[in-house]
Amino acid sequence: MRSDMAKTGIERAPHRSLFKAMGYTDEELRRPLIGIANSANEIVPGHVHLDKVVDAVKAGVYMAGGTPIAFGTIGVCDGIAMNHTGMKYSLGSRELIADSVEVMAVAHSFDAMVMVPNCDKIVPGMLMAAARLDIPAIVISGGPMLAGRLGEKTIDLVSVFEAVGGVKSGKMTEEELAEIEENACPTCGSCAGMFTANSMNCLTEAIGMGLPGNGTIPAVMASRIRLAKKAGAKIMHLLKKGITPRKILTEKAFINALTVDMALGCSTNTVLHITALANEAGVDIDLNRINEVSKRTPHLCSLSPGGNHHLEDLDSAGGVCAVMKELSQKGLIDAEVMTVTGKRVGENIESYSVKDRSVIRSVDDPYHREGGLAILFGNLAPSGSVVKQSAVAPEMLSHEGPARVFDSEETAVASIMEGAINKGDVIVIRYEGPRGGPGMREMLTPTSAIAGMGLDADVALITDGRFSGGTRGASIGHISPEAMEAGPIAIIREGDLISFNIPEKKIDLKLSEDEIKKRLSEWKAPEPNIATGYMARYAKMVTSAATGAVFSK
């Protein structure tokens, strides 16, 4: 066992003495040591209950003959960090989480790992660490929040963000906003729609690193605790069989995950996280590959923000396994891929079926013939950009309009809230990329304000930053190269025409090649937004969004 390096033999008597200082017995030290990466805290709704999930994992490990050892990791709530400096630190936290899990696992010679995340950057951060370490590992998330209720209507966090725009435009009263605020987030758990956290938890299941149910069982259900116990026990099976993450995270597994991504209509952030995870696993997944998968995959589920269903509805309808079973009817899922159940995908999904066709449509009757995401290229985004095409109004799938240019999210939001944006405008928010932000802030506040004002079918927004999974409308993010790297988005001027055609995967600045070159030759990089501390170092090391915004090697 790896842990023998820290506990076995005469030379390790001092080490055992330190273990005994914490109350560990000789019997416990003879067992495999199972590290539990515990991201519980009191600032993230999706993590406030993870202490109970970790307790259940410990019980499962003990039952199966291991010794569980929990340690903490950080976690940022993107909703609370939204629309201020705090959001600059969110994406950067992914690398810190991956690094800290690696440090703890190697320094203490754990034999295997159970990862307990739930929200946006914590899930991919822990998956990246699992791929890097390549010791037996399993992920058990905390589960989604239940949707809120307001009369007969279901609501969620995005309802609150959009209601702010409603109040600003006079479509809603402050009293109505207060009522939505009070009811939108009724339980602990990751926010109830197919936003980034739930997207990544579902894809963790689809890629084979989480047990069936990991992505959809609500946080408040007893079955979530039972699943955590099963995960604790299952890690001992993975250890015994020598099943490690890189035996699971194969190219075929990534294609399975991307296929489920397209069928569910997941967050645009999955493009960042899947490419970053592939980088850690040594698998080549580029943006063109994502378009290939999207083109052949029907969009089967319409969950918030693109539709009215929530994760609890998807769970009741059969969950991720039922979606994979439906996709397999058209040969879109590789059934031979290994998973943390110790079985192959085909065995995992064999007994599942779709229980509610209003939530999971047939492959022969999808919401859209193509998947939820599209990658756009053109002279404005030579290295690519991403849009959640399943959440775009049909009339905005193709558009040309004048640029309204802003060098920060704050100035754009102020203009939107003042009613200074006109129908047909293309809002450009730049210097918000991985280097320029730094940290590539999410833009849920401006997109929600636009939707709340009823302009989402008339106004587009493009940025070298990124969007929350809660974003809907013609919101095109990850423009690469970013402005801080002298990408063409840096030289757009007020009134320049911008065109995009999502079905044709194109986005262009309507300027001649010579004019673009001339403007770029005159461009000078602005001073960095953050000059000290972690994010200043992050800005120097981070790569393009087109490659997952990972650190340069």
Backbone angles phi, psi at 92, to 5 degrees: -60, -25
Distance of CA 131 to the CA centre of its chain: 17
The three-class DSSP label of residue 57 is helix
Radius of gyration for the alpha carbons in the chain, expressed in angstroms and rounded: 23
Residue 456: predicted pLDDT: 86
The single-letter code of the amino acid at 264 is L
Residue 358: predicted pLDDT: 97
Q: Between the CA atoms of 328, 334, 340 and 342, what dihedral angle is there, to the nearest 10 degrees?
A: 100
pLDDT in tens, 493-546: 999 999 999 999 999 999 999 999 999 999 999 999 999 999 999 999 999 999
pLDDT in tens, 485-501: 999 999 999 999 999 99
Of 392, 346, 363, 138, the C-alpha closest to 248 is: 138
**Which member of 100, 141, 302, 468 is catalytic?**
468
The two structure tokens encoding residue 368: 């859209």
Q: What is the value of pTM for the model shown? A: 0.96
Residue 468 a catalytic site member = yes
Residue 472: predicted pLDDT: 84
Residue 153: predicted pLDDT: 94
Q: Give the helix ranges, DSSP H, for 404-443.
A: 409-417
Are 196 and 78 in contact, with CB atoms under 8 Å apart?
A: yes
Residue 469: predicted pLDDT: 80
Question: How far is 426 from 255, CA to CA, in rounded Å?
Answer: 33
**What residue ranges of the chain have pLDDT lower than 50?**
none
Question: How far is 347 from 37, CA to CA, in rounded Å?
Answer: 28
CA distance between the termini of the chain: 31
Of 424, 427, 393, 388, the C-alpha closest to 411 is: 427
Question: How far is 495 from 517, CA to CA, in rounded Å?
Answer: 18
pLDDT in tens, 212-225: 999 999 999 999 99
Contacts of 149 (CB under 8 A, 6+ apart): 155, 183, 186
Number of other CB atoms surrounding residue 262 within 10 Å: 29
